[in-house]
Amino acid sequence: MPHGWIIFDKPLELGSTQAVGAVKRNLREAGLLGKGKDKTKVGHGGTLDPLATGVLPIAIGEATKLCGRMLDASKIYDFTIAFGTETETLDVEGAVSETSDHLPTLEQIKAVLPQFTGPIEQIPPKYSALKIDGKRAYDLARAGDKIEMKTRNVMIFDLSVVSPLEAEGELVSVTLSAHVSKGTYIRSLARDIARGLGTVGHVSMLRRTKAGPFTLEHAISLDKLNEIGKGANIKDYLLPLEAGLDDIPAFALTPDQARLLRHGMTLDEQDLIGNPAQKQGLHGLFLATEGDSPVALAELLDGTVKVVRGFNL
Query: Which residues are the active-site residues?
Result: 49
Go through the chain and tell me how many residues it has.
313
CB of 241 within 8 A of CB of 250?
Answer: no
CB of 247 within 8 A of CB of 213?
Answer: yes
| Beta-sheet pairing, 4-10 with 75-83 | unpaired
Q: For residue 164, give every residue at least 6 positions away whose Cβ sits within 8 Å of its Cβ, in sequence order, or none.
A: 106, 109, 171, 173, 174, 175
Q: Which of these, 28, 54, 59, 29, lies nearest to 43 by C-alpha position?
A: 59
Contacts by residues 297-301 (CB-CB < 8 Å, ≥ 24 positions apart) = 297/65, 297/66, 297/245, 298/261, 300/269
